[in-house]
Structure 1
């Protein structure tokens, strides 16, 4: 059994065969799913490298623990103590290489509609050679001429691409909220337990949103300061209440019977999260009291210790990874692609309510032909044609590369950026997150009123 599995892995790395695990007890995996997860693994690997490059702690540990570190840096011509391999400029160059890699594949796979051509084979296989190509692209960024000009221009390209990626992320959130409600609503006529689940989850979501609002009003406002915080908390809270009442209004229910409080609960929780993140990212505000300057409107449980900072940074980095990977992997499904075109596809009549409704819809219409190479079963679900857009898939990862680059380097405050200060305050990050709140609410508002404004476009 070991020999066939090793041969299949070799074919996967150097040929066009699909990749699978050597453990036959693992559940079946679709070829399309395996391909997307392997690209996500490449993306995650480069993202981790970027995070390491922005950490002075890692740089110090390498300098103290790697033998002949200084001599090695001199041989690599990487500057004193490898200064050219760390910091924001190194992250820009590595992300430039990763962005080029995904952009080239986006162009290469443009208008690929069948999985049997050579371009589709390159997309789905040859993983070892693609890994070498990714390494070459990332290393090539360090040999670009006119480094200062490149960094200045690439910064603005990254900001534009990162903003577009944020819009895609918000669109996917709105689509997720509508799909969740539709899927669970479809099970009510068969089992009333789904109705109870809807009510329970809705109550939990609104409880979390209200609790977050109360928490921020208590700790991020002050009677004599933090006026901006008070204004934005009032605006965002009022907008959440407005869209919640609109979702259950008779005029909306007439055109969208599945519209309800579950969607507005999801949106309200996310808006409260973005609001909290924005207020936490705002520069520290001080107030003079009794002849001394005191810090006000800050996170109450931050003791300032090194361990606390490491925990907060770790949690923030994990959230970053999770959001980026979820958006990149789900933005290419048929449902999500329809959502990104502001078009609501009709819910299938055989829609089955389930807890894990996010998975398994793209390949359900395809006959499952099982193949094995001595390990995990692989379902070749694209023999009749591609089930997602290869070109668009790579383009989303291209935008995700730019978003990671800008986020890790603290957007426009890159000069003093360190991963240990990932959540430290800056006005640019504050306004990006606050504007994201409003964009999210506007997008959800549009999905509610769009059937009244453009009825033909939303006809089933």
Structure 2
């Protein structure tokens, strides 16, 4: 069993064969899923390297435990204690290499429609050679001339790309809310349980949103300070109320009969989350109380000890990049790319209401004849009749995700003293980016409500 698996892995690394696990008891995997997972693994690997580069703690551990550390730095001409291989400048260069890798593949796979051509073969295989190319791109960035000019220009390119990545995620969130409501509403004609489920989930989401508002009003406001917090809490909660009333207004429902309260409930929860994240990212405010300066409007469940801060930062970092990786993968489906064209695609006639509606329905064994069987996991070649997702768009999303990683790890425009241990510390740039994301999300949702009246030909019933 081991020999066939080793041969298949060698064919995967050096040829166009699909990759799979060596465990035969694992469930079947589609070729398209395996390919995207491998690119996600590359993306995650470089992201971890960037996190290490931004951590003085890890740098100190490496310096204390690697023999001949100083001599190795001198040999690599990396400066004293390898100073050029750490910090925000090193992260910019590594992410530049990863962004170039995905951008070049986006151009290389442009307009690939079938999986039988040479470009599709390169996209789906030859993983060892592509890994070497990725390492070459990341390493080559350290040898670019005019480093200061490069960092200055690349910083603004990263800011634009990172914001576009955020915008795409917000558009897909709005589409997700509409699709959820439409899928479950379609089940009301067949069973009353979908009507009950729709009402319970809507009530639960609005309860969470109101609870979050009460929580932030209690802990993130102060009678003598935090005026900005009070203003934004009032503005964002009012906008959530407005979109909720707009969604069930008669003139909207004439054009969109499926419009209901589930969509604004989803949007309200996400807006409250972004508001909480923005207020948590705002620099601390101080007020004088009984002659002593006290910090106000901060997260209440943080003792302030170094160990607690490290735990909070570690958990926050894992959640952040887990969500980032999920966003990159889910943004590359056919349905997601269609959603970005600002038109509403109709639900397939044979699609039924399902609890896990966002997961693709079981497509049966249409590709059983094309399975690769051997000493490991079975692979279903699901792209026999054509590609199931846009290769170029897939790589472009990862290109934007690389820029978002770069800006997030280096704390956006507060990069000089950025450390991964202070990823969740406050800064005005992060605060305004997250607050702007709230408003963009609400505007996008409002547009999806009124657009069928303004541009009826672009929308399907």
TM-score by length of 1: 0.97
Shift of 1:365: 11
Residue 409 of structure 2 corresponds to: 408
Q: Is the 8 A contact 1:29 1:377 kept in 2?
A: yes
Q: Does 1:100 align with 2:100?
A: yes
Residue 111 of structure 2 corresponds to: 111
Query: In the superposition, relative to structure 1, how do residues 243 and 366 fare at CA in structure 2: closer, same or farther (>3 Å)?
Result: farther
* Whole-angstrom distance in 2 between the partners of 1:362 and 1:233: 43
* Whole-angstrom distance in 2 between the partners of 1:4 and 1:365: 24
Shift of 1:182: 1.9
* Whole-angstrom distance in 2 between the partners of 1:296 and 1:87: 31
* Whole-angstrom distance in 2 between the partners of 1:224 and 1:315: 32
The DSSP-based 3-state class of the residue aligned with 1:115 is coil
Measured against aligned partners, the alpha-carbon deviations of 1:220-252 in whole angstroms (never above 9, x if no partner) come to 111111111100000000001111111122222
Measured against aligned partners, the alpha-carbon deviations of 1:10-39 in whole angstroms (never above 9, x if no partner) come to 111110011111222211111111111110
Residue 388 of structure 2 corresponds to: 387
Shift of 1:60: 1.0
Residue 280 of structure 2 corresponds to: 280
Shift of 1:184: 2.0
Residue 57 of structure 1 corresponds to: 57
Residue 14 of structure 1 corresponds to: 14
Residue 449 of structure 1 corresponds to: 450
Measured against aligned partners, the alpha-carbon deviations of 1:77-106 in whole angstroms (never above 9, x if no partner) come to 211111111100010000000000001101
* Number of equivalent positions: 460
Query: In the superposition, relative to structure 1, how do residues 366 and 345 fare at CA in structure 2: closer, same or farther (>3 Å)?
Result: farther
Alignment of 1:112-191 (within 5 A): 112-191=112-191
Measured against aligned partners, the alpha-carbon deviations of 1:184-221 in whole angstroms (never above 9, x if no partner) come to 22223233222222222212211111111001101111
Residue 86 of structure 1 corresponds to: 86
* Whole-angstrom distance in 1 between the partners of 2:300 and 2:21: 46
Residue 437 of structure 1 corresponds to: 438
* Whole-angstrom distance in 2 between the partners of 1:288 and 1:256: 54
* Whole-angstrom distance in 2 between the partners of 1:364 and 1:384: 16
* Whole-angstrom distance in 2 between the partners of 1:193 and 1:315: 37
* Whole-angstrom distance in 2 between the partners of 1:200 and 1:446: 26
Residue 37 of structure 1 corresponds to: 37
* Whole-angstrom distance in 1 between the partners of 2:315 and 2:212: 18
Residue 376 of structure 1 corresponds to: 377
Give the stretch that moved more between structures: 254-263 or 423-432: 254-263
Shift of 1:312: 1.5
Residue 225 of structure 1 corresponds to: 225
Measured against aligned partners, the alpha-carbon deviations of 1:297-337 in whole angstroms (never above 9, x if no partner) come to 11112211112111221222122212221221111211111
The DSSP-based 3-state class of the residue aligned with 1:371 is coil
Shift of 1:361: 5.5
* Whole-angstrom distance in 2 between the partners of 1:141 and 1:113: 32
Give the stretch that moved more between structures: 64-73 or 447-456: 64-73
Residue 418 of structure 1 corresponds to: 419
The DSSP-based 3-state class of the residue aligned with 1:293 is strand
Shift of 1:366: 6.5
Measured against aligned partners, the alpha-carbon deviations of 1:84-133 in whole angstroms (never above 9, x if no partner) come to 11100010000000000001101100111111100000000001111111
The DSSP-based 3-state class of the residue aligned with 2:441 is helix
Query: In the superposition, relative to structure 1, how do residues 250 and 113 fare at CA in structure 2: closer, same or farther (>3 Å)?
Result: same
* Whole-angstrom distance in 1 between the partners of 2:180 and 2:244: 16
Query: In the superposition, relative to structure 1, how do residues 270 and 191 fare at CA in structure 2: closer, same or farther (>3 Å)?
Result: same
Give the stretch that moved more between structures: 398-407 or 16-25: 16-25
Shift of 1:353: 2.2
* Whole-angstrom distance in 2 between the partners of 1:34 and 1:148: 39
Query: In the superposition, relative to structure 1, how do residues 403 and 410 fare at CA in structure 2: closer, same or farther (>3 Å)?
Result: same
Give the stretch that moved more between structures: 57-66 or 349-358: 349-358
Is there any run of 5+ residues in structure 2 with no aligned partner, and where? Answer: none
Shift of 1:399: 0.5
**Structure 1 stretches (4+) deviating beyond 4 angstroms?**
361-368
Query: In the superposition, relative to structure 1, how do residues 300 and 242 fare at CA in structure 2: closer, same or farther (>3 Å)?
Result: same
Q: Is the 8 A contact 1:363 1:387 kept in 2?
A: no
Residue 347 of structure 2 corresponds to: 347
* Whole-angstrom distance in 1 between the partners of 2:242 and 2:109: 44
Query: In the superposition, relative to structure 1, how do residues 145 and 411 fare at CA in structure 2: closer, same or farther (>3 Å)?
Result: same
The DSSP-based 3-state class of the residue aligned with 2:435 is helix
* Whole-angstrom distance in 1 between the partners of 2:176 and 2:433: 22
* Whole-angstrom distance in 1 between the partners of 2:298 and 2:436: 21
* Whole-angstrom distance in 1 between the partners of 2:150 and 2:400: 18
TM-score by length of 2: 0.97
The DSSP-based 3-state class of the residue aligned with 1:288 is strand
